[in-house]
Structure 1
Amino acid sequence: MSTESSPFSWNFTLGRIPVVVEPSFWLVTVMFGLIGAGRDWRILVSWVGVVFVSILMHELGHALMAMSLGSKVAAIQLYSMGGLTYHDRALSRWRDVAVSAAGPLTGFLFYGLIVGVNHVVPPRGYMAQVLLAQLEWVNLWWGVINLMPVPPLDGGHIASGVLGPARQRLALWLGVITAGAITALALRLGAFYMAFMFGWMGYGCWQGLSVTKDIKPLKPTKVEEVEPDALARAWKALRAGDESEAARLGHLALSAAKPGPESNAARDLLAWVALAEGNGRAAVSQLEKVDPPQAARPFSLAMAYEATGLPERALPHALAALEKEPTEAVAALALRLLVGARRLDEAERIAREFAWKTPATRDARRADVAVARGEFGAAAALYASAFEAGGRAEDAYQAARYHAHDGQLELATEWLKRALRAGYDDFETLGQEPVLARVRSDPEIAEQLRSRGAA
């Protein structure tokens, strides 16, 4: 799997593990280094080297633990002074905890090794002392911070795994309380970046409480209570929008299923029920129980991880799904995740080469990639082409929007008129789009909006 995300990324391999270092990693690392380096360029160079080696060691800890538990590591990505490890399958609850803990533990061991070496060969000179202090800060204290039980830190993942699927709300409350306490302490000490970081993570946990439900253990079901064709009927109910009936039938099917493919199929259904209810964590929990883990459906895993707010874990599963079940839904998911990961060359290739059902869909997906590249004129032309091929009002609206982004106000006005004539009626979105403010003031458009009660 290619890990290239921009022409300025540095790509190399460590053994069998591809590594990509994004430009943002160097930029943010240097910015933080300048704060403490003053005018001494040696301290800045030392800081950049320490952060690079230490975070790479941290991610290698995650990667090697995942590999030891049967996963294949697709890539390590370093970005914005952080890192992500992509592996190809869901792991059981306790194995996932082990993978999360392996990163900070590797940092602690690395720092312990450095301290041991310096004990045998004491550091001499000012820069040696600086280097030791930087290694301590990044590997020891960042590791301690990373173990705080606040998602998305490793400590948050560990707490979620230890508490289990029946106590996910408790894990989020723990994150809210811990983040709030650290934010207050950081503000008191004047550590404003730390306060911002934990305040932001605490807010994310608070938002998660509104959509997260604990998974209650199932009560044993008597064989005579099992309904015939429960799984097929559950899928039918889910497609009809009746999630509660789909869940009832899915649990009945699971209670009667034999271990293996039957049980796995029922869990896949229950994962999609959880997704329909907006509970990505419950979906992941169901898929983690598939046995063996590699039998989990990649598309289901990708959707579940994306719904849980883990697009970096969703992406390798989406690409695997595209090879196994190349449907438009899978291709659209893979393209969306690639765009989010800034792997735009791969996204462009899928948009161009996938066998979309209509030229309109193909051009709209290519336009999405052009938008991500900042090529607004090209995006507008592709949305216009999609509208000509399919007549969808949304595509005409997007053509207007990106012509306006490109500074082509006359074309933007023309395309907004076409969107309105084609039936575009999301007036709330139209009214709030700042780039179309001048276009909305066109007399003909303003009159249309007034006549439809939208202005």
Structure 2
Amino acid sequence: MSTESSPFTWQFNLGRIPVVVEPSFWLVTAMFGLFGAGRDWRILVSWVGVVFISILVHELGHALMAMSLGCEVAAIQLYSMGGLTYPDRALSRWRDVAVSAAGPFTGFLFGGLMLGINILVPPRSDMGMIILQQLMWVNFGWGIINLMPVPPLDGGHIVRGVLGPTRQRISLWVGIIAAGAITALALRLGSFYLAFMFGWMGYGCWQALSVTRDIKPLEPTKVAEVEPDALARAWKALRAGNESEAARLGHLALSAAKPGPESNAARDLLAWVALAEGNGRAAVSHLEKVDPPQAARPFSLAMAYEAMGLADRALTHALAALEKEPTEAVAALAVRLLVGARRLDEAERIAREFAWKTPATRDARRADVAVARGDFGAAAALYASAFEAGGRAEDAYQAARYHAHDGRLQLATEWLERALRAGYDDFETLGQEPVLAQVRSDPRIAEQLRSRGAA
């Protein structure tokens, strides 16, 4: 997930469980519905609603089981491939199996309820019958498919948990064999989509088999001999942009670490590797395994939840991080999340009072708050001040942009000239900014853009 949620993402709470519905969920569900709806838009709408309710019920099964085992649920997320539930901590092997099984069996209970309604109080309209049939198909049919022993389905997770961490390759072989058999059967029955789906999952198992090893962790002394200072070197590799080397060293450090602060530090490193790779889900997964859970760094949690699009949870941890480790990166994150939450007075206070290293950073963050208030004149002045203090071309460009928003085109032209002279070169963004259309047509700006091959 990207670091900023889509404007079309729907977020709401079911009790104390946050739910995030990504736009891709609606798009893919509607695409599937088109195959069976024909020209009847009512069938398509009912299908989308049935899938939404059924997958949400399925994920609630996971969530409620996790909560019954002492966890809180960080979020339920519905996306293009279905749904995911995020407990706030790692579970033991058999509890994880129970959580995995709870989703499809909750769906069976819901489908059974629909079957009972169909028998006892059959619907009198054709659409009512269609909706009940859709509900039973999704909850029974998809539930059975989801219990097939093929990762990443729930059945695959259950097999992996039953076999345990020392038999992961066997669980992948089970997945490959089951996927192959189901693919062959689906082709024989003419169900080409089902064949494609299980063929794709079987191929994923085959790929995972090439990198999965059932090897006991090395003794700490042996790891230290092979890779001395593995964690420090992992951070150095990550800062240099070498995520694969950082991940390798991080896993070695985790193998060597004693339970507690050492293993927690390694998991924190692996979470930041996942963030560098744009995988917020994996980052949260690493941080869930920190023991005890409250030992996880609030800043790391804030960044991971923001990457997942869970801004409310990210903000809680960002404010806690500001108390524990008041760095510029933490303060900038807190300001950004407060602005997103429309808590503008708090954002302004932090932007104004935090001990930034340079006035340029302070003024740029205050400008962000002014933009959120709709005070474009103040935003332009603050970005201009940031540029004067730091000379950053981006700040000059933003000063031009918000002078244009404020209707002061002459000042916008002057500041865009300054941005270009300072080295601003994001010509694609500049060319797509509608508020600067008239400024771009100014002869002085047009000539500069032509001379740089941008017009």
1:387 matched to 2:383: yes
How many angstroms does 1:81 deviate by? 13
Matching residue of 1:373: none
Structure 1 pair 315–86 and aligned structure 2 pair: CA distance change class (3 A): farther
Matching residue of 1:105: 105
Matching residue of 1:449: 449
Query: 1:401-420 counterparts in 2 under 5 A?
Result: 401=401, 412-420=412-420
Unaligned runs of 5+ residues in structure 1 are 371-377
Distance in 2 of aligned mates of 1:385 and 1:49: 48
- Checking the alignment, whether the CA contact within 8 Å between 2:17 and 2:76 is kept in structure 1 is yes
- Checking the alignment, whether the CA contact within 8 Å between 2:234 and 2:245 is kept in structure 1 is no
Distance in 1 of aligned mates of 2:270 and 2:24: 39
Could you list the per-position Cα deviations for residues 181-232 of structure 1 after superposition, in whole angstroms to 9, with x for gaps in the alignment? 9xx99xx9999xx9xxx8xxx8xx99xx9xxx87996544536945999378
SS for the counterpart of 1:125 is coil
SS for the counterpart of 1:325 is helix
1:265 matched to 2:268: no
Matching residue of 2:3: none
- Checking the alignment, whether the CA contact within 8 Å between 1:238 and 1:246 is kept in structure 2 is yes
- Checking the alignment, whether the CA contact within 8 Å between 1:302 and 1:318 is kept in structure 2 is yes
Distance in 2 of aligned mates of 1:321 and 1:278: 19
Query: 1:63-102 counterparts in 2 under 5 A?
Result: 63-73=63-73, 87-89=87-89, 91=91, 99=99, 102=102
- Checking the alignment, whether the CA contact within 8 Å between 1:270 and 1:283 is kept in structure 2 is yes
Structure 1 pair 424–27 and aligned structure 2 pair: CA distance change class (3 A): closer
Structure 1 pair 79–354 and aligned structure 2 pair: CA distance change class (3 A): farther
How many angstroms does 1:72 deviate by? 1.5
SS for the counterpart of 1:222 is helix
1:366 matched to 2:362: no
Q: Which deviates more from structure 2 when the two are superposed, residues 123-132 or residues 55-64?
A: 123-132
- Checking the alignment, whether the CA contact within 8 Å between 1:91 and 1:293 is kept in structure 2 is no
How many angstroms does 1:110 deviate by? 0.6
1:322 matched to 2:318: yes
Could you list the per-position Cα deviations for residues 137-167 of structure 1 after superposition, in whole angstroms to 9, with x for gaps in the alignment? 4433455677799999878988999998988
Task: Number of aligned residue pairs: give it.
Answer: 409
1:57 matched to 2:60: no
Structure 1 pair 452–287 and aligned structure 2 pair: CA distance change class (3 A): same
Distance in 2 of aligned mates of 1:103 and 1:134: 18
Structure 1 pair 105–442 and aligned structure 2 pair: CA distance change class (3 A): farther
What amino acid is the match of 2:221?
A: K
What percent identity do the matched residue pairs reach?
61
- Checking the alignment, whether the CA contact within 8 Å between 1:367 and 1:379 is kept in structure 2 is yes
Could you list the per-position Cα deviations for residues 255-281 of structure 1 after superposition, in whole angstroms to 9, with x for gaps in the alignment? 554322222223323443565577777
Structure 1 pair 131–219 and aligned structure 2 pair: CA distance change class (3 A): same
What amino acid is the match of 2:320?
A: K
Structure 1 pair 23–411 and aligned structure 2 pair: CA distance change class (3 A): farther
Matching residue of 2:295: 295
Structure 1 pair 363–222 and aligned structure 2 pair: CA distance change class (3 A): same
Structure 1 pair 17–300 and aligned structure 2 pair: CA distance change class (3 A): closer
- Checking the alignment, whether the CA contact within 8 Å between 2:272 and 2:283 is kept in structure 1 is yes
Matching residue of 2:341: 345
Distance in 2 of aligned mates of 1:337 and 1:46: 36
Structure 1 pair 408–30 and aligned structure 2 pair: CA distance change class (3 A): farther
1:125 matched to 2:124: yes
SS for the counterpart of 1:258 is coil
Distance in 1 of aligned mates of 2:279 and 2:80: 29
SS for the counterpart of 2:341 is helix
Could you list the per-position Cα deviations for residues 396-443 of structure 1 after superposition, in whole angstroms to 9, with x for gaps in the alignment? 32344566689886665344223224442334x356536356543322
SS for the counterpart of 2:71 is coil
Distance in 2 of aligned mates of 1:329 and 1:30: 40
How many angstroms does 1:444 deviate by? 0.8
Matching residue of 1:374: none
- Checking the alignment, whether the CA contact within 8 Å between 1:90 and 1:301 is kept in structure 2 is no
Structure 1 pair 75–271 and aligned structure 2 pair: CA distance change class (3 A): closer
How many angstroms does 1:390 deviate by? 1.2
What amino acid is the match of 2:136?
A: E
Structure 1 pair 82–407 and aligned structure 2 pair: CA distance change class (3 A): farther
Structure 1 pair 27–270 and aligned structure 2 pair: CA distance change class (3 A): closer
Structure 1 pair 29–98 and aligned structure 2 pair: CA distance change class (3 A): same
Could you list the per-position Cα deviations for residues 268-300 of structure 1 after superposition, in whole angstroms to 9, with x for gaps in the alignment? 234435655777777566545433455333433
